[in-house]
């Protein structure tokens, strides 16, 4: 156990964390605006991954390019799910919303199973094996690009929410849906767009992650749980919290894999979650909603 | 009621072994659903980690039986007690720190996953491979050579859980739980000890679920951390009461009679066609349909039809329900009161 190994694990985790952040930002946005818990989040991500995989296979598109298309496709998926289903249970009790999203998650996961089969896949990327050495530790180029893209997308989302009119309306509706209705905002449309953007975030995250980690239809639910972990740790409804939480969880898991048994790395995330829930339930960076 | 019971008691004489299995699963999941219903239905404290209690109960009794030859009939109670202890820990932490709604759900998920991960790394419990029970056919070891005995045990478990739920429904505790579910702050203002009531509910619910774990292990003859502790099992547990009507006595039973055969039939039918995932798509679509069209579950709906209430037919969507009929929309969650 050398210092270089720990440093390497921390760096790998940190660069990987960009994807975690992106998926958590999507979840946080959906929850913040609609107070709906998107249990199908991880399964939307898997669909993003498979789209990237198919695009790479058929058209030879690199996932670092095709993630735009994947995000657009999952945006549409999110809009449809919101319009057809979520919109109708916005005022329903929590357990009903959870049950509905569970149904969506089951359908999406098993649709992927029927269409793509149960095999574990991984998208080929031209940068898959490239590395750059920095003294005793190396930088995985694919992870570096992923991190950069995830950061850029998160910044773009931030600018959209805080600078554009529609973004400001989304934040207004998140803050007070009734109030937004009163000032004449088209809340239904806002909800639709917000859900779509949240889904697009996780679709892009899925496409980017497909080059880093193997995936299969069954990984969806685990990703959903990880997203929840991050969002709670970072603070529900706080986009900055979700972003930093993603980095934190990724580094913690990566270190846990080195310091403990690799298969126990998820445990680190859950223990972190329990501690946060008990001692700082508003999350590390939680405060007001977006 | 009595007639239905007599039919169920006589039924094994006429059923083939496949249908018998279907009925065993109906009863068993109705039992687990009823145990969940005590906390989640009556008390409104949704747990998505009930598989942890099944797993703890199953592993405890199986480990004791394999290592000390202790009969699972006794191990069942010890397993239930172990699950109750975990329930007490989760309940104490969750309720003491004021976690409500979604936060409590996540706490239960996290504990379930922690249990799963820890058990898959304990070699004495078989690690990720799990434990395998060798068949001896000894009733004292909870093993029967005839499926019909499992049928009666499962039926007995379901009836016991219904009895307990009926008692609680009529007791002071049931009224407290309903008050907490509807409005926790208001009920506390009226002097309900919300913390104690919720804690008692989760301990009882965990105990019953843990007892069910022993049946689970000895019916399937094997235990894997991923199935016994996994979220899919928690989902199976939570579905039945919600589909049937959570917070009602007959809800879990009715839900199990609807869902278990459906799952079984679509599984067999589609798996034969080589499409392994299709049955879960059907399952998921059904869930969506239930939420959209029968939001309060099948039992209250059927009861409404039979009593010829003015609101016959499909219940109106949520937003148009008059106040008092539907649960009021929960206030935005605050994790902890300042």
What is the pLDDT, as a whole number, of residue A225? 86
Q: At what angle do helices A141-163 and A187-209 cross, to 10 degrees?
A: 170
- Phi and psi at residue B223, in whole multiples of 5°? -135, 120
Mean pLDDT of B129-134: 82
What is the pLDDT, as a whole number, of residue B155? 92
Residue of B nearest to A89 (CA): B318
Cβ separation B46–A98 shorter than 8 A: yes
Contacts of A91 in chain B (CB under 8 A): 318-319, 329
Cβ separation B121–A264 shorter than 8 A: yes
Q: Residue B281: which of B260, B263, B304 has the closest Cα? A: B263
More confidently predicted of B163 and A181: B163
CB-based contact, B276 to chain A, within 8 Å: yes
Cβ separation A281–B109 shorter than 8 A: no
Q: Are A174 and A290 in contact (CB under 8 A)?
A: yes
| pLDDT tens by residue, B34-61 | 999 999 889 888 888 899 999 999 999 9
Cβ separation B281–A105 shorter than 8 A: no
Contacts of B280 in chain A (CB under 8 A): 106-107, 109-110, 113
Residue A290 lies in a domain: no
What is the pLDDT, as a whole number, of residue B269? 74
CB-based contact, B258 to chain A, within 8 Å: no
Residue A286 lies in a domain: no
Give the mutation candidate from A274, A275, A279 for the B interface (greatest B CB count, under 10 A). A274
Residue of B nearest to A263 (CA): B117
Binned at pLDDT 50, 70 and 90, residue B15 comes out as confident
Cβ separation A107–B281 shorter than 8 A: yes
The per-residue pLDDT of chain A, averaged, comes to 86
Q: Identify which of A102, A110, A270 has the shortest CB distance to residue B110.
A: A270
Domain count, chain A: 1
Q: Are A242 and A21 in contact (CB under 8 A)?
A: yes
Residue A146 has pLDDT above 70, yes or no: yes
Chain B, window 291-310: residues with a beta carbon less than 8 angstroms from a chain A beta carbon? 291-292, 295
Residue B320 has pLDDT above 70, yes or no: no
Contacts of B336 in chain A (CB under 8 A): 281-282
Question: For chains A and B, what is the number of CB pairs under 8 angstroms?
Answer: 142
What is the pLDDT, as a whole number, of residue A151? 92
How many C-beta atoms surround the C-beta of residue A153 within 10 A? 23
What is the pLDDT, as a whole number, of residue B160? 94
Q: Identify which of A94, A103, A264 has the shortest CB distance to residue B284.
A: A103
What is the pLDDT, as a whole number, of residue A133? 77
Residue A169 has pLDDT above 80, yes or no: yes
Chain B, window 93-122: residues with a beta carbon less than 8 angstroms from a chain A beta carbon? 93, 97-99, 101-103, 105-107, 109-111, 113-114, 117-118, 120-121
What is the pLDDT, as a whole number, of residue B161? 93
Residue B164 has pLDDT above 90, yes or no: yes
Q: Identify which of B107, B117, B283 has the shortest CB distance to residue A274.
A: B107
Q: Is the ipTM of this complex over 0.90?
A: no
- Running DSSP on this structure, what letter comes out for residue B316? P
| pLDDT tens by residue, B211-247 | 999 999 888 888 888 888 888 888 888 888 888 888 8
CB-based contact, A109 to chain B, within 8 Å: yes
| pLDDT tens by residue, B193-215 | 889 999 999 999 999 999 999 99
Least confident of A66-75, A247-256, B135-144: B135-144
DSSP sequence for B235-254: HHHHHHHHHH-TTSSSHHHH
What is the pLDDT, as a whole number, of residue B308? 56
Q: Identify which of B48, B284, B332 has the shortest CB distance to residue A110.
A: B284
| pLDDT tens by residue, A239-279 | 888 999 999 999 998 888 888 877 777 788 888 888 887 88
More confidently predicted of B318 and B79: B79
Q: Residue A10: which of A152, A134, A127, A153 has the closest Cα? A: A134
What is the pLDDT, as a whole number, of residue A196? 94
> How far away is chain A from the Cα of B236, in angstroms, using its nearest Cα?
11
Least confident of A119-128, B58-67, B269-278: B269-278
Residue A141 forms beta bridges with which residues? none
Binned at pLDDT 50, 70 and 90, residue A43 comes out as very high
Q: Identify which of B103, B118, B235 has the shortest CB distance to residue A102.
A: B235
Residue A125 lies in a domain: no
Residue of B nearest to A266 (CA): B117
The per-residue pLDDT of chain B, averaged, comes to 82
Residue B338 has pLDDT above 60, yes or no: no
Three-state SS for B2? helix
The residue segments making up the domain with residue A96 are 3-116+133-279
Residue B64 has pLDDT above 50, yes or no: yes
What is the pLDDT, as a whole number, of residue B332? 55
Contacts of A112 in chain B (CB under 8 A): 277
What span, in angstroms and rounded, lies between the C-alpha atoms of B286 and B278? 12
Mean pLDDT of B15-22: 83
| pLDDT tens by residue, A184-238 | 888 889 999 999 999 999 999 999 998 888 898 888 888 898 898 898 888 877 8
Contacts of A111 in chain B (CB under 8 A): 277, 281
> How far away is chain A from the Cα of B277, in angstroms, using its nearest Cα?
5
Q: Rg of chain A's alpha carbons, rounded to an integer?
A: 18
Residue of B nearest to A101 (CA): B288
- CATH number for the domain spanning A238: value is 1.10.3470
The two counts, helices (H) then strands (E), for chain A are: 11, 2
- Phi and psi at residue A134, in whole multiples of 5°? -120, 90
Residue of A nearest to B182 (CA): A93
What is the pLDDT, as a whole number, of residue A20? 92
Q: Which two tokens stand for residue A77?
A: 């998926």
Residue A161 lies in a domain: yes
What is the pLDDT, as a whole number, of residue B213? 92
Three-state SS for A212? coil
Chain B, window 5-44: residues with a beta carbon less than 8 angstroms from a chain A beta carbon? 40
């Amino acid at each position: 156990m050398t210092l270089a190994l720990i440093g390497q694990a921390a760096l790998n985790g940190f660069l990987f964390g960009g994807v975690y952040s992106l998926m958590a930002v999507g979840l946080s946005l959906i929850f913040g605006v609609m107070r709906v818990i998107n249990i199908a989040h991880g399964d939307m991500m898997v669909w993003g991954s498979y789209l990237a995989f198919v695009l790479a296979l058929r058209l030879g598109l690199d996932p670092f390019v095709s993630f735009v298309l994947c995000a657009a496709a999952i945006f549409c998926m999110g809009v449809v799910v919101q319009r057809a289903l979520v919109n109708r249970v916005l005022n329903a009790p929590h357990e009903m919303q959870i049950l509905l999203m569970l149904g969506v998650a089951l359908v999406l996961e098993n649709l992927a199973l029927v269409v793509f089969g149960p095999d574990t896949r991984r998208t080929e990327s031209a940068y898959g094996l490239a590395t750059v050495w920095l003294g005793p530790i190396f930088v995985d180029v694919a992870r570096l690009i992923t991190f950069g893209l995830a950061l850029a997308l998160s910044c773009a989302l931030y600018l959209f929410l805080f600078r554009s009119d529609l973004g400001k309306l989304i934040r207004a509706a998140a803050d007070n849906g009734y109030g937004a209705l009163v000032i004449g905002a088209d809340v239904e449309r806002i909800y639709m767009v917000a859900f779509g953007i949240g889904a697009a975030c996780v679709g892009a995250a899925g496409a980017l992650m497909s080059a880093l980690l193997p995936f299969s239809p069954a990984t969806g639910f685990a990703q959903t749980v990880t997203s929840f972990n991050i969002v709670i740790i970072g603070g529900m409804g706080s986009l900055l919290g979700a972003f930093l939480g993603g980095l934190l969880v990724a580094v913690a898991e990566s270190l846990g894999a080195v310091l403990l048994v690799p298969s126990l790395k998820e445990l680190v995330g859950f223990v972190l979650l329990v501690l946060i829930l008990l001692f700082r339930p508003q999350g590390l960076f939680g405060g007001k909603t977006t | 009621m009595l007639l239905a019971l007599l039919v169920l008691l006589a039924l094994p004489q006429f059923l083939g072994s496949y249908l018998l299995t279907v009925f065993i699963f109906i009863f068993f999941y109705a039992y687990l659903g009823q145990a969940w219903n005590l906390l989640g239905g009556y008390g409104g404290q949704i747990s998505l980690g009930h598989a942890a209690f099944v797993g703890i109960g199953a592993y405890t009794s199986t480990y004791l039986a394999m290592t000390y030859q202790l009969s699972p009939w006794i191990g069942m109670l010890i397993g239930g007690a172990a699950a109750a202890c975990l329930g007490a820990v989760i309940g104490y932490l969750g309720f003491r720190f004021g976690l409500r709604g979604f936060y409590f759900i996540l706490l239960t998920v996290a504990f379930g996953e922690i249990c799963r991960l820890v058990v898959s790394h304990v070699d004495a419990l078989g690690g990720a491979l799990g434990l395998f029970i060798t068949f001896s056919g000894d009733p004292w070891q909870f093993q029967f050579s005839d499926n019909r005995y499992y049928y009666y045990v499962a039926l007995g478990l379901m009836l016991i859980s219904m009895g307990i739920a009926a008692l609680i429904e009529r007791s002071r505790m049931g009224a407290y739980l309903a008050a907490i579910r509807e409005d926790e702050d208001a009920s506390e203002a009226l002097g309900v000890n919300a913390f104690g009531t919720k804690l008692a509910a989760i301990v009882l619910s965990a105990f019953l679920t843990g007892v069910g774990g022993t049946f689970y292990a000895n019916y399937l003859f094997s235990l894997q951390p991923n199935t016994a502790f996994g979220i899919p099992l928690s989902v199976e547990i939570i579905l039945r009461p919600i589909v049937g009507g959570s917070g009602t006595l007959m809800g879990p039973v009715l839900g199990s009679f609807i869902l278990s055969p459906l799952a079984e039939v679509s599984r067999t039918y589609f798996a034969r066609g080589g499409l392994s995932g299709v049955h879960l798509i059907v399952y998921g679509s059904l869930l969506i349909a239930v939420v959209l069209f029968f939001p309060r579950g099948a039992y209250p709906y059927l009861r409404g039809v039979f009593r010829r209430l003015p609101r016959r037919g499909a219940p109106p969507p949520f937003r148009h329900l008059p106040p008092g009929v539907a649960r009021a929309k929960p206030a935005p969650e605050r994790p902890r009161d300042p």
